[in-house]
Chain A
Amino acid sequence: MKVGLFIPCYIDQFYPQVAIATYQLLKKLGCEVFYPSNQTCCGQPMANSGFSNLTKGCDINFVKNFKGFDYIVAPSGSCVLHIKEHLKDGDNPIELEKIRHRMYELSEFLLDVLKIKHLKASFPHKVGMHVSCHGQRGLHLSSMSELVAPAYSKTEQLLNMVEGLQLLIPERTDECCGFGGTFCVFEEAVSVKMGKDRINEHLLNHVEYICGGDTSCLMHMEGILKRQELGVKTIHFAEILNSEL
């Protein structure tokens, strides 16, 4: 099984540990993992700001790097959703369709494709669950509090396989953290207030870590946690799943 590893640009540059954990985890689970070395960004920062006309370069580069894999996996619901919904390449319509269908966020790949039932991982800590909106409401990685539907969560299902981990859910189970791409600077006041409110709910649960599937949300909350010297850390679920006994 040839798996193309897509590492979002800001993870590549600022959170390589998330990418390393994803890579090692996939290797451990028997995947043949390839990292196309000329990859950059999915184009979402421009498109979500209203400049989808400027994503052509990113789109073409993405298709060039990721054609031909059985699966493409990324540790980010948001970037995966962008690829599935907005990737364009007029010259390669067939490749484009293939890429869209082969694109997976890490938790859905682990559960729906690899169908893993257990993991050898240990993380004896109190972990607060942060649900990222695009993975949840866009990719349906978990049930949504607004809908009348059975409850499930792919990320929680995976974290429950980890030894010693105590998972704690905030009262507002799936409220947005306020990152929102360029929203975080153009609407700075609301963005930070939303982040603070999310963090406060986790603090009530006395968590040691806030865990999620999108490093962008975590980066935003980490920035607030560090500024306020609250001692709580953020962590991507891939890092937890990759933590050895």
Chain B
Amino acid sequence: MIVKQHAEAAQEFIKDEARTDWHDETLWFVRHKRDKAVNTLPEWESLREWASQIKNHTLSNLDHYLKNFEERAISNGIIVHWASDAEEHNRIIHKIIADNKIDKIVKSKSMLTEECHLNDYLKSRGVKILDTDLGEYIVQLREESPSHIVLPAIHLKRQDVSATFHEHLKTEEGNFDPQYLASTARHHLRERFVESELAITGVNFAIAETGSFVVCTNEGNADMGVHAADIHIACMGIEKLIPKTEHLGVFLRLLARSATGQPITTYSSHFNKPRQGQQMHVVIVDNGRSRQLGRPDFRNSLKCIRCAACFNTCPVYRRSGGHSYHSTVAGPIGSILNPNLDMKANSDLPFASTLCGSCTNVCPVKIDIHDQLWKWRQQIVANGYVTSGKKAGMNGMAWVLSNPKLYRLSGTIVRWVMRKFPLVVNNRLNVWYKQREMPAAPEKSFRDWFKENQET
């Protein structure tokens, strides 16, 4: 399958301008809700700073905290697994499923399992998983990937959901009343929760001092699955750790406000140990994270708590849709995480930004996202993942701009040509000109004017 580069996919997305406006306004609404929520806390900027420092400290002592967590979790009765990559993560989960002869599995939202393509891995081995987060459930029915890490089906209108439910759940055709659709989904999901034998969840925060972990949802679907099933598998990246329970308050306050403008997620579920007769597994996954930790310029991207505030504020994301980023994690944060996973395949992503810096400002853990986008651009070019045309253009530009006389001569010629023969630039080959007029070309540059007027 040929994956379209961001610019091309975005161009297609924008062709439906009314829908693009709807997408932009929907996500801007979330950004606006976030603004209102954060402005109720005078200490907001201090919270961000604390969260950043806690995460920086944790990342600098990650080996220590991982071992702490493992030790405590084991003593709580949790079975701990280590996976160096996506393949190993999937293999571990498949083995637990196979060993226990399970075929009824529910999963609440976990971007890590999306990143590892767990569903596909299990499907090819005859194991089916049901995604129980409503948004994830919708995209799963449509055989799509999530377009947003917090709002997986935000690219869909209720009319689209209605059509999907009509096809798969036999809802009335053309009935797109949200309450009707949600209650149908709830009815179907409820049956699957009750009969589930194994529940998979993600992990929002793992606490080193207690060996426990916290899962945040708004739908309660993580709890529903875990309480009904005899086996719970929680999947976490190595960066999900925080040292102490007392740090949790900082992050829970930041997470929900940043994500949706809520003061707190509806359910912040704490898991400490398996109940009697239950198996509780935690799979701790690296999958490139330790490599990112070893990159001084990019290591602090691992502070990310997956709130997606940077998606909602990004003017490019809002107008190009999550699928144009051809990755599990889209948006600005995805554009600094994905090149670590595959620099060549994701070499377009750091360029899908104007470097406006809004992402950095909304980030609750103060990741310098736009600076890292700039740095990834340097890495990508240095590694040769750039077209020869662009390279030649940049070399030419650098040469002209390094030589004052040549710069002035080129400027004079270009302006003269633009005045005398405008069609040389005003044509289809000029991408700027497609939807924009060129600037007027004055006879004199400022330098020309200055030479004539400086004494007056």
Contact = CB atoms under 8 A, between A and B. Distances in A.
B431 interface: yes
Contact of B11 (A146, A149, A181, A188): A188
A13 B442 CA distance: 7
A223 B361 contact: no
B378 interface: yes
Chain A interface size range = 35 or more
Given A57-B402, A148-B38, A188 B445 contact: no
B398 A58 contact: yes
Nearest to A14: B439
Contact of B407 (A41, A137, A149): A41
A242 interface: no
A227 B439 CA distance: 11
Contact of B401 (A9, A20, A189): A9
B245 interface: no
Contacts of B35: 145-146
A7 B232 CA distance: 63
Contacts of A195: 436
Contacts of A49: 351, 377, 381, 390, 394
Interface majority SS (helix, strand, loop, mixed), chain B = helix
Nearest to A34: B454
Interface string A35-52: 101111101011111111
Contacts of B434: 188, 192
Interface string B367-391: 0000000100110111000100011
Given A39-B404, A172-B28, A223-B437, A12 B446 contact: yes
Interface string A1-31: 0000001010111111001100100000000
Contacts of A176: 315, 354, 356, 358
B441 to A, nearest CB: 7
Contacts of B441: 14
Q: Which of A19, A23, A189, A195 has the most CB of B within 10 A?
A: A189
Interface string A216-230: 000110111011000
B281 interface: no
Interface in B406-456: 407, 411, 414-415, 431-432, 434-442, 444-451, 454
20 contacts: A12-B445, A20-B449, A41-B401, A43-B398, A50-B382, A53-B381, A57-B398, A57-B401, A145-B35, A148-B38, A148-B39, A149-B45, A180-B354, A180-B356, A187-B6, A190-B11, A190-B319, A192-B435, A223-B436, A226-B436
Interface of A: 7, 9, 11-16, 19-20, 23, 35, 37-41, 43, 45-58, 60-61, 133-134, 137-138, 144-149, 172, 174-176, 178-181, 183-195, 197, 219-220, 222-224, 226-227
Interface of B: 6-7, 10-11, 14, 17, 20-21, 24, 28, 35, 38-39, 41-42, 44-45, 313, 315-316, 319-320, 350-358, 360-362, 374, 377-378, 380-382, 386, 390-391, 394-395, 397-399, 401-404, 407, 411, 414-415, 431-432, 434-442, 444-451, 454
Given A183-B351, A190-B319, A223-B439, 13 more contacts: A13-B442, A14-B440, A14-B442, A16-B444, A19-B450, A49-B351, A50-B351, A54-B398, A61-B404, A133-B355, A180-B353, A181-B354, A197-B319
